[in-house]
Structure 1
């Protein structure tokens, strides 16, 4: 008792310290479980916005896991709400996936006008990824829109595919200088009413412009793509592109999809500058009767389906090529491609005689619906597969 009395001050201090640590620990645990209240409130405002622009019959189907205290089912927006991902340490929202959130009937989808108010995303200071695709927005609410986009300083990934945005959105997108991925597929982008296009997005590595049916060869230049020297992947399928002069400076490009356009064989000369290209899709360009792709030393995958090709002699120098898709053409012979592993020659009805001596590494072969009568040097596919029916 005397000892405890002598150490009374120390005992009290130890007890207080223990209590403080318990309180701190409880706060830590509570803080970890809950997202920030300001961001939780902002998320509920986003939900209200989507409900306001959707068909009233579907209110209960819009972000149903996003519930507030008034709903009697409090939950953590970081862990329990669909489409929300938070920083594990700060508990701030880092990723919002709001694709296909707005629900409309067919008439509204094709005739109505809906604007997205970007100020809804102001509270999310650590937002790095935002997906608004497949919501059929026709534009943005332009009151202080530059400020709204400018606040998103950490945004790296922005997906706006399957909406109705036109060139009016380009000046605002051009302020998002931290972007590394931008998807504008299936919109109404033309590149005809813009001064800079996307030229300021110098960190951009992935860009999808596919299914913008009014993008032409000139659009590639007006959109400022020549400035995007860090671009590694570009999608521009099913546009109205006839030439690719606007892409010649993209020397870091690794994957390029220009399928279902209107390219002719002479327009491919510009590809010679893209020496880092590994994947090239030119399928559906039905006027590419001949090819000259000699200066693509790193090309591994080439898709030339349905291009009207009659000869592939121009591919002979593609020594790194591993996969070649040539179905639905008019070719009548092969070239030596010693690294080739996958070859699709289906639906080449003029192909009657084949020799495989120059394809020692072939593992997969498709010869369906060809006119083959003679095969010389039958390929040894090892553990690979043949769907040839010959």
Structure 2
């Protein structure tokens, strides 16, 4: 009788374990994904053994109800004990296998900061209907962003910064109505910003610096009510700065430095909610609008290396706060106003203009 009970218990346990473990198809997809990668130092894949990929497989998490693989989180700069014991960050080579697309319930895919992963973003990634997070920052991935990336209707984070991506920003990307964080920094992406970028109504951060993006800044960006951080620096953008950028409700950081922008600086930017403004190293011209006031609160404002002329705006003294100000390398002329914020600014803020004088430069 005892042996019968034991056999029954083993059968029940085996059945329950099989039900609660990941399906063989998910396990096979993970092993194929692993086979395309080589991680020589930390042994993060050593735990990828056994039949149940839902338990104790490093970086793998499953949905508690379906037991399908839901999250892959492999980050080469981690505070995990594996990294701390080795006193090093991760390094991995190989490529992201298209087999990853067989994980049809995948919600987040993070393969970040491994420095040596090459190849392309698998085009089939756009067939994963539940994908919310795609984070591939800090590798050597090349090729283009998949043209039909807009199929990922649930995507909230797209981070492919610090890679070697080329091509254009796909027009379909503007269909990602749930996207909150877009980071394309430090790649070789070219072409214009899609004219319908303003359709990204949930976007709060758009970081596109360090690419080869050209054309004008689309005014449609001003429609993104939640946009707080816009970084388009170090590109090849030309044309005028849309004045409506200064009317955005929550835009706090605007970096447009190191482009080919021209024309006058919109007065709206100097009385806006923007607190960190960098327009340096462009071809902006005309007088700096003398419109600063109580609503002007800048932790940093950099207008250096442009073609501004005329005097330093006296209304700067009416601003609520000016932390850092750089007006160097322009064609400004006249007496630097006295009082705050000028009392705490250094000479470097005003150097290399045509004929500025007064503290902290030479006396007039």
Q: Does the pair score TM above 0.5?
A: yes
Superposition TM-score, scaled by structure 2 size? 0.66
Q: Which residue of 2 aligns with 1:353?
A: 336
SS at match of 1:97: strand
Match of 1:281 in 2: 255
Distance 1:199 1:284, change over 3 A: closer
Which residue number in structure 2 is paired with residue 245 of structure 1? 218
2:203 and 2:303 map into 1 onto residues whose CA distance is 29
* Aligned counterparts of 2:63 and 2:242: Cα–Cα separation in 1: 45
Please say if 1:231 is aligned against 2:203. yes
> Is the 1:153–1:178 contact (alpha carbons within 8 Å) kept by the matching residues of 2?
yes
**Alpha-carbon spacing, 1:255–1:293, altered in 2? closer, same or farther (3 Å):** farther
Alpha-carbon RMSD across the aligned residues, in angstroms, is 4.4
Size of the aligned set, in residue pairs, is: 313
CA displacement at 1:177 relative to structure 2: 0.7
Pair member with larger Rg: 1
Deviation by residue 1:321-376 (Cα, 9 ceiling, x = unmatched): 3322327447762443523252243866979734344x5xx9x9652635497449
CA distances 1:5-64 after superposition (whole Å, capped 9, x unpaired): xxxxxxxxxxxxxx9xxx9xxx8xx98xx964645554333222214xxxxxx6565634
* Alpha-carbon distance, 1:207 to partner: 1.5
In the other structure, the counterpart of 2:102 is 122
Q: 1:165 to 1:159 in 2, by over 3 A?
A: farther
Question: Are residues 127 and 66 of structure 1, via their aligned partners in 2, closer, same or farther at CA, if it must alter by over 3 Å?
Answer: farther
Counterpart residue number, 1:319: 295
TM (normalized to structure 1)? 0.62
Q: d(CA) in 2 for partners of 1:325 and 1:241? A: 24
Residue 367 of structure 1 corresponds to 346
- 3-state SS of paired residue (2:348): coil
Unaligned runs of 5+ in 2: 77-89
| Secondary structure of the corresponding residue to residue 44 of structure 1 | helix
> Are residues 135 and 154 of structure 1, via their aligned partners in 2, closer, same or farther at CA, if it must alter by over 3 Å?
farther
The equivalent residue for 2:83 is none
Aligned to 2:230: 256
Would you say the 8 A contact 1:294–1:316 is kept in 2? Answer: no
Give yes or no for contact 2:75–2:112 (8 Å, CA) kept in 1: yes
The within-5 A match list for 1:116-265 is: 116-123=96-103, 125=105, 127-131=107-111, 134=115, 136-139=117-120, 145=124, 149-150=126-127, 152-161=128-137, 162=139, 163-166=141-144, 169-171=146-148, 173-185=149-161, 186-191=163-168, 196-217=171-192, 219-221=193-195, 224-238=196-210, 239-245=212-218, 247-248=220-221, 250-252=223-225, 253-263=227-237
Q: 1: distance between equivalents of 2:167 and 2:267?
A: 29
CA shift, 1:227, in A, is 2.6
- Quickly say closer, same or farther: Cα 1:268–1:354, change in 2 above 3 A: same
Structure 1: where are the runs of 5+ without partners?
Answer: 1-18, 52-57, 105-113, 377-390
Q: 1:203 touches 1:228 (CA, 8 Å); kept in 2?
A: yes
CA distance in 2 between partners of 1:319 and 1:265 (Å): 27
